[in-house]
Structure 1
């Protein structure tokens, strides 16, 4: 079941950098800590009225090595296939609930071209034939328009064909990225970090997730071990993990 609602929240403190002192201070004050990027999430996953860490200035980081995770204690641990390997899937799927990822090593490959197609469809048809859509291409995604049966499907496949047209710096970079970032920045300044989000969120709780994912219990145990005091949780994640809400933001 999906619920669409407006959420208005304002962090008590907003940091644009990260170090262990912030987490120790939050622990002393009994505050939650949530990390956010550009604020594009259509859910209340990052909402909090406690402490917020913005990663907006991290776009100038030029080099990342390994997966480094800062825990609520301020300790930084490395997680990889050879070091703390059992935590790798936990951290990758944690939705920010176990700590703050400081750096990542990506496995890359040579550049390749993609052939992109999109077409309108109905939600009923896509959900009924979802397996065939997903298996029929290299990459598949869909955008559903709430309160309607309309969706837009995107299928993407690798190709050896040359691109039909050269990328446009004006449309793809200046308008498609920088102008959007400027608009978001202006919005943040005008509202002084007071964000109003139109949410489209599920109502699943821990019991439903446990029935869907065989290793859900192991994941929750690992999460509790990494963040025993729940510093990185908010109302959204507390509901997901089947915990009592702490009212960390205002609805």
Structure 2
């Protein structure tokens, strides 16, 4: 550790540990990005968190929070100090009458549910995985797929946050409401959320079924009963087959009944699919045939093929993410869904004129499926300032997933995502904060969120005026050139391609950069960090092995 840190440590209570290492290599779950933090800090208590914040302020360091790193974006990258709360994972209080648990911010959703189940409780909704920390899940507007549920943060009743000045502040709908609304989708830029009060429901099972249908069937039932027949519904759209798998579930008292073994859930199918995706990087035109074969083996080759099971709610809502991937998901009003799918389908299948999308799809082939999910946060009050869902009705999420077979990027990515995002913006969509949106400027996000974004930025500036929790991702998405450079803000210096795939990210803080100015031109382009960074990354493979 450097002399400044040693000197500041000597001024603080030695009985409160500072658990830091200097050899950690961070990467996202998908290994899309890597970074080497100066220090990797793993506190075990509130006192340790307050101590590390005090040290960061005195040593002039940025702090970045990281959990499982499941976001494939550059949001969690840093060359400064990285903080992981995996050891802050206790259940602190239980209110059986209100069905609420107060938990530490580092608890993973999986562990939260396991502990709640022992009390006869469970989370009412989940996304596709339960590996995230509860704070990481709510910080980026994680959602499930149900018109009877909104964002996961809809169940948050109060929060406790350690701010840049070291104070631990509580907030809720009735206490520090603006801070609460900002922290419900914090993007990691406000402070360290150390406690969450979360409302559960009685533990239960769900019975689910999934069936294969034609795309016209899906679009015909869109405004009828597709999303309302059962409590939980999601759709996987197969663009070249013009079919979709519909998955529906309801709570049930029936005993558990295991699902049948799936094709790519087994070793042979898993590795066969992976190899086929790798081959498609070199021969993209085989992707329609891969879609037909793989999803035929997985779900059946004929419309109407159905499977079902009864599982616990905490596991039945989850899905296997399979391989490293890019994910580009957008939220738009549910009623825009048929138009969005019809136009994207036309474009992917070569009808550029019919799609109205001003980019060529010639020679472009993409991966399947396109994930289609829903939520409804419109009844929620107060709403998070950065809630990306529709305020006046149900929301549709379209997720354009692209796999990275053996950590190699697919050749279609740039053109596909530019066209996809253009369509989403035209239909009034907003990007999912944790995903790989690349062609959105701060000015466009300002227009999308209006006064809510300004309210978030006002709160952010009040609680962290020096930018202890601000990095390049924030500058190139929500801050732009309008917000002056902050003393502790970290900026990107370079990216290097790794021999294993992915990019090594290097940053520096503005107070260490003699050329730092008020904005450095950030936010003037049409792309965010991932898009520009790819162009800046060197072609030479990085020799620093992961």
**Residue 157, structure 1, aligned to residue 392, structure 2:** no
**Residue 63, structure 1, aligned to residue 299, structure 2:** no
Could you tell me which of 38, 42, 55 is aligned with 2:72?
Answer: 42
Could you tell me which of 420, 433, 437 is aligned with 1:202?
Answer: 437
Please name the residue that 2:491 is paired with.
246
Deviation at 1:164, TM superposition (A): 2.2
Partner SS for 2:34: strand
Q: Which has the higher contact order (CA 8 A, sep 6+)?
A: 1
TM-score by length of 1: 0.69
Q: Is the 8 A contact 1:121 1:150 kept in 2?
A: yes
Distance 1:29 1:19 in 2: 15
Q: Is the 8 A contact 1:144 1:151 kept in 2?
A: yes
Distance 1:130 1:227 in 2: 45
Partner SS for 1:211: helix
Deviation at 1:143, TM superposition (A): 7.1
Cα gap change, 1:213 to 1:117, in 2 (>3 Å): farther
Partner SS for 2:83: strand
Residues 1-251 of structure 1: pairs in structure 2 closer than 5 A: 6-17=32-43, 18-59=48-89, 61-64=90-93, 65=102, 66-118=158-210, 137-141=230-234, 154-165=247-258, 201-203=436-438, 204-214=440-450, 215-243=452-480, 246-247=491-492, 249-250=505-506
Deviation at 1:85, TM superposition (A): 2.1
Distance 1:29 1:127 in 2: 57
Partner SS for 1:246: strand
Cα gap change, 1:67 to 1:144, in 2 (>3 Å): farther
Deviation at 1:86, TM superposition (A): 2.6
Distance 1:29 1:197 in 2: 39
Q: Is the 8 A contact 2:42 2:84 kept in 1?
A: yes
> Gaps spanning 5+ residues in structure 2: where?
1-29, 94-101, 103-157, 259-309, 320-406, 410-433, 482-489, 494-504, 507-536, 538-546
Deviation at 1:116, TM superposition (A): 3.0
Task: Determine which structure has more spread, i.e. the larger CA radius of gyration.
Answer: 2
Partner SS for 1:82: coil
Cα gap change, 1:120 to 1:44, in 2 (>3 Å): farther
Deviation at 1:144, TM superposition (A): 8.6
Please name the residue that 2:121 is paired with.
none
Deviation at 1:141, TM superposition (A): 4.9
Partner SS for 1:68: strand
Task: Output one character per residue of 1:79-112: Cα deviation in whole Å (capped at 9) or x when no partner.
Answer: 1122112322210111211111111111122223
Of 201-210 and 32-41, more deviation after overlay is shown by: 201-210
Distance 1:221 1:207 in 2: 17
Deviation at 1:232, TM superposition (A): 1.1
Distance 1:163 1:151 in 2: 27
Task: Output one character per residue of 1:140-161: Cα deviation in whole Å (capped at 9) or x when no partner.
Answer: 456799xxx9987644433444
Cα gap change, 1:200 to 1:94, in 2 (>3 Å): closer
Please name the residue that 2:361 is paired with.
none
Please name the residue that 1:184 is paired with.
none
Deviation at 1:36, TM superposition (A): 1.0
TM-score by length of 2: 0.34
> Gaps spanning 5+ residues in structure 1: where?
177-195
Q: Is the 8 A contact 2:56 2:62 kept in 1?
A: yes
Distance 2:220 2:479 in 1: 30
Q: What is the total number of aligned residue pairs between the two structures?
A: 220
Please name the residue that 2:296 is paired with.
none
Q: Is the 8 A contact 2:446 2:478 kept in 1?
A: no
